[in-house]
Chain A
């Protein structure tokens, strides 16, 4: 059995069509699977969704909801986005089918999540590092020193935004004791009590 040039041309055309269709399908799937409703359709993401709702990062400056992908995926469609999307996607599917939600250890998932929160994602909103979140007041003296260091003006830090600004949108139970998280922890506890009270009321 041998192939003629005509057969090769037909094969090449088929491969080309398949490739284009594959790229379109992948793009559609990537965009669909990056929505918050898709992320939180799995049971293990419920806790993260509830924490985000009580956090200062629930809504952005224009009062619109902040999505998971806004922080957890790099911006744009470059290699940074594609590699993180692929890696985290495959990892999440693997963990979803091999582990139970109770066995997920958030002390281990914290560093993984932090590794892939791009500084550019933070700075898409917080573009002036010397103003507060509402861009009105100057930040504290300590904050200015730390951001000088981050910018390389005074020493040089290679840490990411999230290496210093921890627990910005999520707060596992073991981080609730930290003094710096007291306000966030109180809100979460209040929300949990509200849910518990409603459940009790419903049961009666």
Chain B
């Protein structure tokens, strides 16, 4: 025969148990959601079309329309700096590694080395170049709109660093 006495202590224990169950339940829910609908998908492998490896735009104007059009409208597109110059070729040949997000230390400085050195001397090391240089005058494709940091600064001057 089971008897449960409804003392204050038992009720408190029950409430604690329910709370822990709820927290664990919500945790498991999000664990499942991220497993079933991942935010970031696994990196795939590019299809093989050897004669079209340097003609990225033909397909990518359809399968990544925004990125391709951003490139075409930006300085790099206007001056016809082709995809492979920064992203490498899908077959992995050539000196540029094939990657969706080129490493600025490796790629940007190939052409913009003097500017990178100057910027680093003035402002120190930055994790990447895109977060600023996509937004203002040189919208190389990137999600600058999403990564931008609002500022209250109204002048270019930085305290302690003369222009």
Which residues of A approach B to under 8 Å, CB–CB? 1-5, 8, 79-80, 83-84, 86-87, 107-108, 115-116, 142, 145-146, 148-149, 154-160, 163-164, 166, 175, 177-181
Contacts and interface: CB of A to CB of B under 8 A. Distances in A.
B146 A2 contact: no
A3 B6 contact: yes
B66 interface: yes
Describe A's contact surface by its main secondary structure. helix
A11 B145 CA distance: 57
B3 A4 contact: yes
B47 A146 contact: yes
Nearest to B38: A115
B6 to A, nearest CB: 5
What is the size category of the interface that chain B forms with chain A? Answer: 20 to 34
Contacts, number: 86
Given A86-B29, A155-B45, 15 more contacts: A1-B5, A3-B4, A8-B4, A79-B32, A107-B145, A142-B62, A145-B49, A154-B47, A155-B44, A157-B47, A159-B41, A160-B41, A163-B41, A175-B66, A180-B62
Nearest to B59: A142
Given A142-B59, A154-B47, A155-B44, A178 B3 contact: no
Given A83-B33, A107-B145, A158-B41, A148 B47 contact: yes
6 contacts: A1-B7, A5-B1, A145-B47, A146-B59, A179-B69, A180-B61
A179 B146 contact: no
B36 interface: yes
Given A107-B146, A142-B62, A181-B65, A1 B6 contact: yes
Interface string B39-57: 1011111111100000000
A156 B63 CA distance: 15
